[in-house]
Amino acid sequence: MQYNRVEICGINTSKLKVLKEDEKLELFRIMKEGTPTQKKKAREDMINGNLRLVLSVIQRFTNRGESCDDLFQVGCIGLIKAIDNFNSDLDVKFSTYGVPMIIGEVRRYLRDYNYIRVSRSMRDTAYKAMQVKERLINETGREPTVEEIAKELDMKREDVVMALEAIVAPISLNEPVFSDSNDTIYVMDQISDKNDDTNWIEEISLREAISKLSSREKKILNMRFFQGKTQMEVSSEIGISQAQVSRIEKGALSQIRKEI
């Protein structure tokens, strides 16, 4: 998404007005002291004069595959909330107050309308972890490890990792991962298909090779690799030594390899 000339929600963003600080303060004064008509007009001017602020904020969220129109509308809701709740008597710029409000509104939207539903407790853990991460980066000047974040939260490393992975936006199978001239590789190209011809042929070959084994060899392989039993357990159940089980197993596997 370009910043200078883009149509979002039917608005040409290159023509958006930008208010100066003294203009914002004057509009807030009118919203506080003016007549109902003046207050309404000042509020509308304040909203229209800060749409570029919304546009600048949603830039950081445009790589999630969300519609720019949707993000812009959600950002405008955050802007309106910021305008309605801003205290102009404090020595704080409106943008300092407004930006976190807009970001919070967009993040809530992405969290609540994600394609994959994630429990609220896990989402809360993830956002706390991200806050700790940002704080540690500012304090240490480097990227903190997961262990450091988990220690700050007094949580297990596995819980932090699971929470952070849960809020990652899903990737489309049509997402390009590499492009060289006209040859583009997509995510779907890197996912194996268990039903492709190669796997089908290999499965038939394996079945034919196993069919040529003796009943004892088949039983031992079944107990070892499908039932998960140890050689000692197999030897005890069949009534032969563990050394014999090992020899039969190796011989059967060797024969299967030759057949395949």
- Cα(115)–Cα(125) distance, integer angstroms: 19
Comparing 20-24, 110-114, 169-173, 244-248, the range with the smallest average pLDDT is 169-173
Span 93-101, average pLDDT = 88
**Considering the entire predicted model, what is its pTM?**
0.44
pLDDT of 3 reads 40
Q: 254 pLDDT band (50/70/90 cuts)?
A: confident
Spatial CA neighbour of 90 closest among 43, 28, 45: 28
Residue 98 · residue 122 · CB < 8 Å:
no
Query: Quick check: 27 and 69 in contact, CB under 8 A?
Result: no
Q: In this predicted model, what pLDDT tens digit does every residue of 57-94 receive, in sequence order?
A: 888 777 666 778 888 889 999 999 999 998 888 888 89
Predicted local confidence at residue 77, as pLDDT: 92
Burial of 12 (0-12, 13-18, 19+ CB in 10 A): exposed
| 71 vs 6, more confident | 71
